[in-house]
Structure 1
Amino acid sequence: MQDLSENIQQVHNEKLGRHLVAGLPIEPGETLLEERPLLVTPHWECGQLKCAQCLQESYVMCRKCQVYPLCMDCSQHDDFECEFFASGAGKSICKDLLVKNYGICGLLRLLLLLEDPTTRPDCQVLMEWPVNLEDYRDGEGMWQEHEEQVVRPLMESGIMELLPSQQLTSDVLHAHCIRIDSHAFEVTARDGDTLKGVFVCGASLPHHCVPNTVVALDEEFNMKLYAAVPLQPGDIIYNSYTNPLMGTSQRQHQLRLSRRLDCTCSRCQDPTEMGTHMSSMKCRECAEGYAVCEMDANGRMGDWRCLNCKSILPAASVHELLAEVGGALVDARGDLQVYESLLTQYRQLFHPNHFLLLDIKQNIATILRAAALMNSVEQPCKKLLARRAELCSDLLPVCRAVVPGLSKLYAIGLFEYLISLVELIELQFAESDLDKKGYVGQLRIASQAAKEAMELLRFEPENSAEGFLSERIAMELERIESDLMKYGR
């Protein structure tokens, strides 16, 4: 299931439990862990049947067991799963089990992995992961989702009586659901749908909002974990389970919901968020100041205080404003003009790098890119292309700061900037808004961005989304270099 680098050691302490540390100096890009997923499954709420073998959409059932879906290209699936329902006690289960309740698919597969003597040992570490169910009976949504979409339908199916050795109860099933969610990374099927891949080792690494590793997933759902920065002997191997472009309060909220974790990492303890000011507010008392959130000795967030004039911005008013903007973003529903209006309205209240402003900018850039891809405008508008390039450029310094080292986030940001810039300057050059010297100068900027992005992605598997992206960047770079040869003499 997994293969650890010989330069990595497994250790244990009371705070982190069992975890990994560097045993020798490690260079960026060095592989630390390779792991196959214990299982890959659609999200709980998925209602569309997926092939049990390749996980693409399916509308027919396995002829042998008549329970699991198979697509037209796949003739069989896991032997134990199939045989369980095709013979013996499994015959008593309704053949429409997954048709009526497809949300149970992931948990059902885990139960059958536990039932199969050949795969049961693979589940041991996952089963040892402690779950305090009382932490989840809090009305936040996860418990209710599991109960309605998975636990209750599975208990009513009658399968519980067919697995007596597992002593299954409602609480046991809830604990299994939590273990699946807590050890899942989002993976992408061949048809583009997102799925959950359960990685027992890779998803159990300690969290840090500035990870020192990179997770790479290929199209076969295999994981490679490699070093993002140089590691010294004794350094803890960290992963991140949050969106790095979230502010501190939002990352911490997500971690409390998904992993019941109060993060006290260096980024969470830094009110300026590594100098990015992604959670900083514009001071309401002075023209130049920005207010940052004060932390108490236990890392709890308090009021916001201006770094310039020391005036206080109450936490209640900040949270009210954040909720207001969050609601406005939901209501925007992909409307470009609404997003631009929100950006104009709220940039007076937040630091330019505030995560909500970044969110708005990302939405605008995405809409502009989609319009270009769909050829929704017959003649590309230089003003819109320039706007997209500007927005992409604004995001780059923040991406570079919050994910240092070999950063896929920064590489993808560079790619978006590269494409935006090249589209713009080619049009400007064609319409004589740029002379040859100016065009060559911009091409050199684009060439540097392409080379930097490829350098950051060089350790990604070739058969991964980032590997394919690297190929796309290489093609773009070849085209840029051709123009440089033509016009740069």
Structure 2
Amino acid sequence: MFKESTCDAKGRILVATQDIQPNTIVLQDQAILGLPDGYPVCLGCLEPATEKFIPCQSCGWLLCDNTCPYIENHQLECEVFTKSKFKIKLEDLTKRHMIYSIVPVLKIVLLKENCEKKQSVIESLMDHWEDLQENPQTIMLVKYMAAMFRKQLGLSWVSDQDVQHAFGVLKTNGLGHGGRSCFVYPTVCLLSHSCSANLDIVGSPNFQVTFRSKKLIKAGEELTWSYANILDLKPVIRNQLRTVWNFECTCERCLDPTEFGTNFTTQQCDCGGYFHEETCDKCLKHGGRIPLSEQSELLQLINRAPLTTLQKIESTILANYHYSHLVTCRYVMRMLDLLVELEEANNYKNKQLVTQGETLLKTLEKIDGRYGRPYLKYEKIFNLLFN
């Protein structure tokens, strides 16, 4: 269904070898490593730590149970922690702890001496160290980890270069960042990012992950998925890709100032045109009406607003944002979520809300495809409420 190929701008990529219909399972991959992502977790199955967790019988680090089904995932560092007698004391299991950001790098480094097959995969992955090293804090952190591995854990064979590559591989290829765990997959790591991706992840990242198509994929087309939340402001998405993954996105959506004719994250001018690159494409007026920071704050408010708050801010939203703008779409999404939850659709069933819901679905289809998770979710809710 797909094969590995190369691209001058991206390196190794995956391309379709045949036409792939929407909603088709395209890729399933098994993680070569499951890793904590900054928070205390079971070092086997990676479940968030609780007071019921017990210390590992060998090294003393937290496990959900000594019969954890993924106990093998803890084996490498367990041997190191046991031999070096390295332990930590955790006062709050709900807060981030630096050591749980160091352990993932350690687990990758340990493959070098313990698992040739997995190490060969790690060695083949890009680390973007030439970009990461421009940050002095990153260099200091990597040197600190390398020294810690050598002196406190007794791993005299570890070099600074080993840690640099492990750190870069994790930053570049780890899937699941932002939660309490992340995973490194041998095939998924070849998927490039696109803000209009043709693949969608099924469920959440775990030791096994599945991707399905959300639109028709033609033979020879590159397989892509979105590293970031596509339902966010374009400048926010692009900044996240730049700071976390160290690249400037040049996907079809980013290159189209109208975002497929939706103007999804573009404000509308009083003349009816749209502000592209801070200039109205119709009257040439310069400067959007609402700063990006205010839009972000409004989106945060909408995401947690109860029905009464949505009613209060509705007129402000509709006066400042067109129907297919992200802010209006998120407002309608939140409204539909609450109505179906409260079973109060009949009290709010009006022509305007129906029109907003129809516009939302058309916009989501253009931005993410008819088989994208947002479209499928809100099509179901819309039909439940209004059909």
TM-score by length of 1: 0.65
Question: Aligned residue for 2:226?
Answer: 240
Relative to structure 1, the CA distance from residue 229 to residue 390 in structure 2 (aligned partners, 3 Å threshold; closer, same or farther) is closer
The answer as to whether partners of 2:86 and 2:153 remain within 8 angstroms in 1 is: no
Distance 1:357 1:153, change over 3 A: farther
* Cα separation, 2, equivalents of 1:129 and 1:63: 34
Match of 2:47 among 55, 75, 89: 55
Q: Please state how far the C-alpha of 1:36 moved relative to its aligned partner.
A: 0.6
The 1:228–1:342 alpha-carbon spacing in structure 2 relative to 1, beyond 3 Å, is same
Cα contact 2:6–2:12 (8 A) shared by 1: yes
Aligned to 1:163: 155
Q: Where in structure 1 do 4 or more consecutive aligned residues deviate above 6 Å?
A: 97-100, 145-148, 385-391
Q: TM-score, normalised by structure 2?
A: 0.79
Evaluate the alpha carbon distance shift between residue 176 and residue 369 of structure 1 in structure 2; reply closer, same or farther with a 3 A threshold: farther
**1:160–1:186 distance in 2 versus 1, CA, 3 Å:** same
Q: Contact between 1:42 and 1:106, CA under 8 Å: does it hold in 2?
A: yes
- The CA distance in 2 between the partners of 1:16 and 1:208, in whole Å, is 12
Aligned to 2:190: 204
Secondary structure, aligned partner of 2:57: coil
Tell me by how many angstroms 1:202 deviates: 1.1
The answer for unaligned runs of 5 or more in structure 2 is: 92-96
**Does the Cα contact within 8 Å between 2:303 and 2:330 map onto a contact in 1?**
no
Q: Which has the higher contact order (CA 8 A, sep 6+)?
A: 2
Q: Specify the alignment match of 1:226 in structure 2.
A: 212
1:180 matched to 2:170: yes
> Is it true that 1:103 corresponds to 2:74 in the alignment?
no
Q: Could you say what secondary structure the match of 1:10 adopts?
A: strand
Equivalent of 2:127, from 131, 135, 156? 131
2:274 to 291, 295, 300: 291
Instruction: Note the C-alpha offset of 1:63.
Output: 1.0
Residue of structure 1 aligned with 2:325, choices 337, 354, 375: 354
- Hey, what does 1:396 align to over in structure 2? 361
* Aligned with 1:71 (options 64, 67, 76): 64
Distance in 2 of aligned mates of 1:76 and 1:113:
21
Deviations 1:340-379 (A, max 9, x none): 4444224323322211333344445455566x39xxxxxx
- For the Cα contact (< 8 Å) 2:357–2:382, is it kept in 1? yes
Q: Rate the CA distance shift 1:81–1:73 in 2: closer, same or farther, 3 A.
A: closer
Relative distance call for 1:77 and 1:209 in structure 2 (3 A) is: closer
Q: Superposition RMSD on alpha carbons, in Å?
A: 3.8
Q: Does 2:279 align with 1:304? A: yes
Instruction: Verify the 8 A CA contact 2:268 2:275 in the aligned structure 1.
Output: no
SS at match of 2:371: coil
Deviations 1:300-348 (A, max 9, x none): xx333244xx33232xx45x62212323444678343444444422432
Give the Cα–Cα distance (whole angstroms) in 2 for the partners of residues 124 and 220 of structure 1.
Answer: 22
- SS of 2:176's partner is strand
1:232 is aligned with what amino acid? K
Shift of 1:273: 0.8
Q: 1:392 to 1:40 in 2, by over 3 A?
A: farther
State the Cα distance separating 1:35 from its structure 2 match: 0.8
**What secondary structure is seen at the aligned counterpart in 1 of 2:304?**
coil
Describe the superposition over 1:75-122 as per-residue Cα deviations: whole angstroms up to 9, x where unpaired: 5754584476458x84223233788733333223223333313xx322
Aligned pairs for 1:1-150 within 5 A: 7-44=1-38, 46=39, 48-50=40-42, 52-53=44-45, 55-58=47-50, 59-67=53-61, 69-72=62-65, 74=67, 78-79=71-72, 81-82=74-75, 85-86=78-79, 90-96=82-88, 101-117=99-115, 120-133=116-129, 135-136=131-132
The alignment-based identity, stated in percent, is 18
Q: Encode CA deviations 1:229-277: one digit per residue, 9 max, x unaligned.
A: 3333322222222222224333222221222222222222222211212
The alpha carbon displacement at 1:278 in A equals: 0.5
Contact 2:37–2:181 (8 Å) recurs in 1: yes
**Contact 2:19 2:216 (8 Å CA) reproduced:** yes
Shift in CA distance, 262/49, structure 1 to aligned 2, threshold 3 Å: closer
Contact kept in structure 2, 1:41 and 1:196, CA below 8 Å: yes
Report the number of matched residues: 377
For 1:177 and 1:348, how far apart are their aligned partners in 2? 47
Aligned residue runs from structure 1 range 392-471, under 5 A: 393-419=358-384, 421=385, 445=387
User: Which ranges in structure 1 are unaligned for 5 or more consecutive residues?
Assistant: 1-6, 294-301, 374-379, 422-441, 446-489
Contact 2:196 2:253 in 1 (8 A): yes
Residue 396 of structure 1 aligns to which amino acid in structure 2?
A: L
- The structure that has the greater radius of gyration is 1
Q: CA deviation at 1:133?
A: 3.5
Residue of structure 1 in register with 2:94 after alignment: none
